[in-house]
């Protein structure tokens, strides 16, 4: 692949040249870089005119380097998730603190769309608040699938968190005792509603939705409402059950407490 120079970063008085992994050169002023991103070598270190190769691609660096100059910055709200994620990773790698804050604010807005990626991202870079917000959104993913996507040190805490959430839902939905658990800690027998006339419908719909794997707050709320609707129950008369479910799930400790 031929080496080309970025149209936006080719000024003659730049004192360091970076080369992206896809062979694009960026002529940058080191003082600006030193002030903004401390992960790069100090401006006092002479590169002897050599081109410095770095692992990021040119589309990421076009965004990254625009943030080191006093100019209007790109609107990251318009970036596709993959491009935003690469920019956030670069900000973390080079310790560009202002850009880290900007990226994280936008990533939090995308949690409902990409919870798995952001769950791991949060713990990789020390943002437990992001991972705690992502964790409840992952509870609809089967346990044997989600643990494969997690970093190894998060697997046991996740199983503990999952079991705690599952038992809170069981208690709120008035499940019978004793409850039998499979090797993963999932309850084998379920009774999903305090309303006896809704039990058989709720149980059937629960199996249809994926059994014990559908544990997110929204899925359990929808399941309870669906069972009542199919039984022609008055939803307003069951507000107490839904409130009990919400209170029980809201009381489950955040994922970070299981680490």
Tokens standing for 211?
């059994």
**Helix (H) / strand (E) containing 246:** helix 239-250
- Distance in angstroms (rounded) separating the CA atoms of residues 249 and 237: 21
Considering the entire predicted model, what is its pTM? 0.79
**Helix (H) / strand (E) containing 28:** strand 24-28
Per-residue pLDDT of the chain (259 residues; tens, 9 = 90+): 899 999 999 999 998 999 999 999 999 999 899 899 988 866 555 567 789 999 999 999 999 999 999 999 999 999 999 999 999 999 999 999 999 999 999 999 999 999 999 999 999 999 999 999 999 999 888 888 898 888 889 999 999 999 898 888 777 765 444 445 555 555 555 444 445 545 444 544 444 434 355 678 887 777 777 666 655 555 555 566 778 778 888 889 999 999 9
């Amino acid at each position: 692949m031929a080496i080309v120079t970025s149209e936006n970063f080719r000024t003659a008085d730049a004192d360091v040249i970076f080369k992206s992994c896809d062979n694009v050169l960026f002529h940058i002023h080191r003082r600006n870089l030193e002030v903004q991103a401390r992960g790069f070598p100090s401006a006092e270190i002479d590169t002897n005119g050599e081109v410095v190769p770095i692992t990021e691609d040119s589309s990421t660096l076009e965004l990254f380097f625009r943030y080191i100059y006093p100019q209007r910055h790109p609107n990251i709200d318009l970036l596709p998730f993959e491009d935003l994620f690469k920019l956030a990773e670069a900000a973390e790698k080079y310790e560009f603190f202002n850009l880290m804050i900007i990226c994280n604010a936008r990533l939090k807005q995308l949690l409902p769309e990409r919870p798995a990626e952001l769950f791991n991202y949060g713990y990789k870079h020390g943002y437990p608040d992001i991972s705690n917000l992502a964790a409840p959104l992952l509870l609809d993913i089967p346990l044997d699938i989600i643990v494969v996507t997690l970093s190894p040190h998060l697997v046991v805490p996740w199983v503990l968190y999952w079991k705690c959430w599952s038992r809170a839902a069981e208690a709120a939905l008035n499940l019978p005792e004793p409850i039998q658990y499979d090797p993963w800690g999932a309850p084998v027998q379920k009774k999903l509603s305090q309303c006896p006339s809704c039990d058989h419908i709720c149980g059937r719909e629960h199996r249809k939705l994926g059994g014990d794997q559908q544990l997110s707050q929204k899925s359990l709320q929808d399941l309870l409402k669906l069972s009542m609707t199919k039984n022609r129950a008055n939803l307003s008369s069951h507000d107490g059950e839904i409130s009990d479910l919400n209170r029980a799930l809201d009381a489950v400790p955040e994922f970070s407490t299981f680490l």
